[in-house]
Structure 1
Amino acid sequence: MLHSSLGDNTLGFPMFVMLVADFLLMDGILPCHQDLAAEGKLYQWSPGMFVCFVSHQWLSRMHPDPSGQQMAILRAALKGIIEESVPVITDLIAEVGVRKFKTMKSNVKRAISNGFLWLDWISVPQKAGLTDGEAIRKMEREQMSAIQAIPDYVANSNVFMVLAPPLPHHSTAVACDFNSWYSRGWCRLEAICRLLAAQETSHEIIIIKSMTSVVHAFAAHMYLTSVGDGDFEVSSDRQALHSVLLKTINRKLDYFASQGAAGKFMHRFLTAAADRLLSGLLPSSSPVNNGGVVPFLQKYDFKSLGDQHGHEWGPLHIAAIEGNLAICQSAVAAGTNVSLLAPYLGEAGKTLSLGRVSPLHLAAISGHVEVISFLIDSKAEIHQPCSSGPDSLHLAAAVGAKSFEAISMLLSKSADANRLNKVIGGAALHHVFYNVRKSGQAGVVQLLLQHNARPDAVDIFGATLGHNAVLFGASMETVKILLASGVSPHRIAAPRGLVGRGAVRCCRSAIWLGFSREALHAISEHSLFSWLHIAARHGRLEMVKCLLESDADPMAKSRRGETAAELARRHGFEDIYQLCTRLRHEES
């Protein structure tokens, strides 16, 4: 029996949720929507309910969690959050790069304990157990209605959680973690819907990495992420999602328009970014409208190509995001400063976190190679940093929508592959691993190495490329490229400079720099590890195997005195513990 309420009847398929308290009492394999409905465990959403939307990657074709491991981790993490035994810390790079701190307040934790969960397997009808043709067709119609309502489900939720512990896929044995979650088209759609929720200005997501590792991260980079570039098991799903995302974008644009002058900047920004968000969802897409200056000015509500105010981006910045080469050429011909650093305004200033940026920075992020080439030829400063530290090459590597193409163009225009980010000290190769887009990563690493990027470079935390590759879940192909380049996997990071040393030696001495205690602990911990320690700490089984095959010592201790096996056991990765322990016994 379903518990009905006076919910939102405008949804194509109602938003069904489950009490967190009921979920925490369950064990083993999670029942599907129909079984939970029959047991009276589902409730129809109504205003005032506190809902946690859980996005996750399925671990098999027919069941999201055939072994029950994924849901066991979710239960343990939720229990830890509620009981405050598991801290919710801010993502390391979010803090180091932009000083954007976030902690979960006690009242939110209490709300979670008394709240509800939305998760596709329990909230949407499933095929499991159905044999009757008419019942299957009814289920398929309900699923399609639910797909169309995903933006509403996300908008009605108070917390957006990504359940992404490192677990093997049931059929392929390929590791599924946050990186593979982000590579999935469906998961990207859910995250972008969070970003574009009609009146939502909070873009953080909560990532559950293990029973004891939960972090805040920020989804602002997804403004320039293509859902269509994600992976789909069924290719036709792309077309089904086009109308969903288009509706979401238009609804957000309507919201910005309703905010008057305060929403004008973000209306322009999202209008320019919309083509990128939608790209790849239809078999063919229309090119950027190069219909001339007047249509462009009307589209973005500019008075002229020189309509540049100190507090917002002008036409050249917007055209750089859009990839509109003709307008870029016209704006430069009209005398626009190609290297102007203009600050964000309003919502973007709080979420995109790059500070003041130039048109070249935006073109590098968006991956518009023709615009990149034109701006540099027009004397844009190729190594000009944005106010938060990275230059165009760093940005293309770290958050670029088309990293390989943009980096190739920048390098062809004499960008220095070894130039350091003035804030966190890393070169372009370090920034590659900050990019959650892993497809094509190995090619980007090879490209930079071919342009004399130093494989032994370190950042201010003493991390080599290998430390970052393992920490941020690089592809196995990338790790093997780094090992082949001669970088030692045995090296333990040794922080350098005021920030790095202060983070390791004394958290109190670095608080004044703006870092939270949790981030300092994460920095100091990883600054005392080798590649193998980090891989074991984060449950990266395939990387552990690869490093052990490269003669990494399973008995070597970190500067905290722990072996890889001990780290794995402390953080709940028993398979890695057993592997390292077995090798120790074999060697002895």
Structure 2
Amino acid sequence: MVGCGGRRQPTPWERHAKFLQERHVEDDPEVPQLRFPMYTVPAAAILEMVEVKPHEELLSSGVVVEHDESNGHVAFVSHQWVGKGHPDPSFEQFKLLQEVFRDLLSQTSYVHLETVTCLMWPLRSGFYSQALQSRPLFVWYDYFSVPQSPAAAAKQRQTIDCIPAFIARCRFFFALCPVIESAALSAVLSPFTWEQRGWCRLEKVCRQLTAGDGSWIMIKSRKHLEVMPTVSISVGSVSVGEGTFTDSKDRDQLGPVLKTALRTKLVSLMRDGNIVAFRTLLNMQAFFLRGLNVKPAADLVPGATLGTDVHPEWLLVDSFLLQNGFRKLDEVDGTGWSPLAYAVLGGDPEVIQAMLRKRADPSTRTRAANAFLTIPGNASMVSIAAFYSNNEALQVLIAARASLEAGIAPALVTASGNDNTEGLRILLAAGCNLQAQNAAGHTAFENAALSGSQNVMQALIEAGATSAQLTRSLHWACWFAGGSFEMIQQLLSARADVNSSFAVKPCSVIGVLFGVLSLRYRMGSRSFPARLGYHSDGATPLMLAILSGQYEAATALVAAGARMDVFNSRHRRAADLAREMQAPDFLMQALEQGNSAACERITASAGVLESHIF
């Protein structure tokens, strides 16, 4: 709307953003407050420990201190408990944390970005250890920082409510998740099991909601650390309610905690005037809160009165436009996304249906990549719905005759990338081609494998897969980020070739990419993608798993009888690559000494041991 002087009138969203900007932050009720002290342990004390003691014991001895921001930086450590009632009875996991901190605090080192981020955003930088050394370091670790006594249940609940505020006050965030056996739990812990834990998912989401870029560091071994960005290929791992919980009642407590954290971040984005990030997070709420008994915040722009004579469908659309800061339905924002694209991201079928009845185009595509998502430019509406498992929205779009295979990736391929089995079946029933490929030349098989979509992979195997497809899928699971024990066993059981050599066509999109990565390696880069690109040609799945730091996959492949005496095109064996990567000791025993007993034991503990020597 234009006023008398020709000036554009601000939207209700813009007016409220200005109001927030003029209000002092300390007076803002949306700013999280600490209801319980933030207890930390100095890094120097961490390095001297020989056992993991509880909060009460460390507090009484003066090791645990209440954090004061003027004293230094804090590192938050997220981890799975190795024992029952104790986080690390054998001290094996914590010893690794000590080794990593000792290295980072005493050396000048660089932690590379993880592979997917390097490929999608090659100009992003990793982490320099000097940042950790710039001020005294303190550590937040749950067993040290949270009361553990059964008599302190009320204080524990208060502490849990404060987790988002604690993480917001931490400069650094580490996920401690090596491949490690747990005799007490009769299980094997790994990066994949960490990703599945509901508590770990909450901590990860809260980190992603902090100021700055929200990046964090995953610890796989002493020498294998990876910087993980806010945007990650394993986006499904951030639906907290769909994670695993030892006590299902924990979901009831975490729902309000996460909802408050999301609302706080949305208010912060509005105050900063970051409307694209605001729209993205506003409509991602349903995804983040899936599986929790809470509803997304929907009233962040107050004071707007819509006419009561408006048809309910029009009311839905107008309310959506108002809350998202749009003026009209055919508008496109600076990132190339329309109101319909954001509505599909949110997944409300009624809002989408109302937009379609107002002549929104179901076959429209995004014009550019959204920097806050893994969705690239030229993405179709059905692919967005399929990727985020918004299956009711997907059915509405299909009924409106939306194009199913247009854009940078067919919807069937994107559904496979986030383990959306229901969406896969909906799309197959709608006539989608199982062999359709995305811009990288991947079908649903390869995409499911590289992203670790185990349930989708099983559905694809049942739908009919050739040995060649399964073998390619095994390669990509080991190359990217899909090499869980379960995925490796699944593919090998379906007769993927455990010793096949990896090859790509030089003139394909992937082939050209590998050529560029290989050149970077020859010029001195030792990033994960550069090393992978250089050594991939002729590599076996075992070699690829080692190069990508997927030690879970490498362990399973050794236990399955993978050959260790073959060479890739660079005349390197798996043992040579493992030495370069400084792989864990149990893998080096198998690769250098031929002693695979530890790998077999670990794989058996994971419940998936079976020989696959054909």
TM-score range, shorter chain: 0.7 to 0.9
* Corresponding residue for residue 436 of structure 2: 419
Tell me the SS of whatever aligns to 1:394.
helix
Amino acid paired to 2:347? G
Alignment of 1:401-416 (within 5 A): 403-416=420-433
Q: Cα offset for 1:304?
A: 6.7
* Deviation per residue, 1:294-350 (Å, 9 max, x gap): 1442244166762422535333222212222233223223222223233569xx525
Provide Cα deviations, 1:69-103, integer angstroms capped at 9, x if missing partner. 11121122223333446541111122224446222
1:502 paired with 2:502, answer: no
The one-letter code matched in structure 2 to 1:486 is R
> 2:57 & 2:571 partners in 1: Cα distance?
49
How many correspondences in the alignment?
543
Match of 1:524 in 2: 534
- Pairwise CA distance, 1:163: 0.9
1:322 pairs, out of 325, 340, 346, with: 346
- Give 1:34's aligned residue: 56
1:147, distance to aligned residue in structure 2 (A): 0.3
1:107-128: CA deviation from partner (whole Å, max 9, x where unpaired): 414237x32211111211223x
- 2:104 maps to which of 67, 81, 104: 81
Given the alignment of the two structures, is residue 393 of structure 1 paired with residue 415 of structure 2, yes or no? no
CA contact (8 A) 1:421 1:427 kept: yes
Tell me, yes or no, if the aligned pair for 1:417 and 1:452 is still in contact at 8 Å: no
Aligned to 1:431: 447
- CA displacement at 1:188 relative to structure 2: 0.4
- Cα distance in 1 between the residues matched to 2:224 and 2:393: 41
Contact kept? 1:363, 1:369, Cα under 8 Å: yes
| Distance in 1 of aligned mates of 2:504 and 2:523 | 13
SS at 1:61 equivalent? coil
Q: Percent identity?
A: 23
Give the structure 2 partner of residue 339 of structure 1. 363
Give the CA deviation at 1:51.
1.4
Name the CA distance, whole Å, in 2 between partners of 1:561 and 1:25. 43
* Partner residue, 1:203: 214
Supply the distance in 2 between the matched residues of 1:433 and 1:161 (Cα, whole angstroms): 26
Q: Could you tell me which of 272, 283, 289 is aligned with 1:278?
A: 289
Mapping 1:203-242, distance limit 5 Å = 203-220=214-231, 225-242=238-255
Q: Distance in 1 between matches of 2:229 and 2:287?
A: 19
Q: Does 1:22 align with 2:45?
A: yes
State the 1:56 CA deviation: 0.8
Q: 1:133 maps to which residue? A: none
Give the 3-state SS of the residue equivalent to 2:216 in structure 1: strand
Match of 2:279 in 1: 268
From 60, 66, 71, the equivalent of 2:83 is: 60
Change (3 A) 1:394 1:81: farther
Greater Cα shift, 246-255 or 313-322: 313-322
Contact 1:306/1:336, CA 8 A, preserved across alignment: yes
Aligned equivalents of 1:486 and 1:67: distance in 2? 38
CA RMSD, 1 decimal: 3.5
How far is 1:37 from its partner? 2.2
Counterpart for residue 298 of structure 1: 319
Amino acid at match of 1:313: W
Residue 157 in structure 1 maps to residue 170 in structure 2: yes
**TM-score if structure 1 supplies the norm length?**
0.82
Consecutive unaligned residues of structure 2, counting only runs of 5 or more, are 1-30, 300-310, 598-614
Q: CA deviation at 1:230?
A: 0.3
Question: Is 1:308 aligned to 2:300, yes or no?
Answer: no
What is residue 589 of structure 2 aligned with on the other side? 578
Rounded Cα–Cα distance in structure 2 between residues aligned with 1:258 and 1:53: 27
Correspondence for 1:556 among 556, 559, 566: 566
CA distance in structure 1 between the aligned counterparts of 2:61 and 2:578, rounded to whole angstroms:
38
What's the secondary structure of 1:215's corresponding residue? strand
1:30-49 deviation per Cα after TM superposition (whole angstroms, max 9, x unaligned): 22222322332223222343
Question: Matches of 2:556 and 2:44 in 1, distance apart?
Answer: 41
- Which whole-Å deviations, capped at 9, do the CAs of 1:438-479 have from their partners, x for residues lacking one? 6xx433113223445555249xxxx93213334535443432
| Cα distance between partner residues in 2 of 1:229 and 1:161 | 22
* Secondary structure class of the residue paired with 2:41: strand
Deviation at 1:377, TM superposition (A): 4.0
Structure 1 position 466 matched with structure 2 position 474: yes
For the Cα contact (< 8 Å) 1:360–1:392, is it kept in 2?
yes
- Identify which of 470, 490, 501 aligns with 1:492: 501
Seen in structure 2, the aligned counterparts of structure 1 residues 404 and 329 have a Cα distance that, compared at 3 Å, is same
Q: Is the 8 A contact 2:198 2:240 kept in 1?
A: yes
Task: Report the TM-score, using the length of structure 2 for normalisation.
Answer: 0.78
Q: How does 1:118-133 map to 2 (within 5 A)?
A: 118-127=140-149
Is the Cα–Cα contact under 8 Å of residues 113 and 125 in structure 2 kept in the other structure? yes
Whole-angstrom CA distance in 1 between matches of 2:286 and 2:596 = 54
Q: Who is 1:5 aligned against?
A: none
Is this contact kept in 2: 1:539–1:573, CA < 8 A?
no
SS of structure 2 residue aligned to 1:146 = helix
SS at match of 1:228: helix
Which 10-residue stretch deviates more, 402-411 or 527-536?
Answer: 527-536
Instruction: Tell me the residue number matched to 1:533.
Output: 543
Give me the whole-angstrom Cα distance separating, in 1, the residues matched to 2:197 and 2:343. Answer: 29
SS at match of 2:173: strand
Cα separation, 2, equivalents of 1:246 and 1:64: 28
Report the AA paired with residue 432 of structure 1: A
**CA distance in 1 between partners of 2:492 and 2:557 (Å):** 9
Look up the SS of the partner of 1:52 in the other structure.
strand
Single out whichever of 316-325 and 556-565 deviates more from structure 2: 556-565
In the TM superposition, what is the alpha-carbon distance from 1:569 to its structure 2 partner?
6.4
Letter in 1 for 2:456: V
Residue 391 and residue 288 in structure 1: after superposition, are their counterparts in 2 closer, same or farther (change >3 A)?
Answer: farther
Give the secondary-structure state (helix, strand or coil) at the position aligned to 1:271: helix
Q: Report deviation, 1:583.
A: 5.0
Code of the residue aligned with 1:407 in structure 2: it is L
Task: Give the distance between the partners of 2:157 and 2:368, measured in 1 at CA.
Answer: 38
Specify whether residues 76 and 318 from structure 1 end up closer, same or farther in structure 2 by C-alpha distance, changes over 3 A only.
same
For 2:567 and 2:530, the matched residues in 1 are separated by: 21
Question: 1:411, 1:417 within 8 Å by CA — same for their partners in 2?
Answer: yes
User: What's the counterpart of residue 449 of structure 1?
Assistant: 461
Higher mean alpha-carbon deviation, 485-494 vs 93-102, is at 93-102
Q: Is the 8 A contact 1:56 1:187 kept in 2?
A: yes
Moved more, 543-552 or 102-111: 543-552
466, 484, 488: which one pairs with 1:479? Answer: 488
**Distance apart, 1:412 and its partner CA:** 2.3
Gaps of 5+ in 1: 1-7, 128-135
What per-residue deviation string (whole Å, max 9, x for no partner) do you get for residues 396-453 of structure 1?
222x3x6111222222223333333324x43222222343xx6xx4331132234455
Distance 1:21 1:29, change over 3 A: same
Secondary structure at 1:58 match in 2 = coil
Distance 2:148 2:41 in 1: 16
- Structure 1 window deviating more from structure 2 (80-89 vs 156-165): it is 80-89
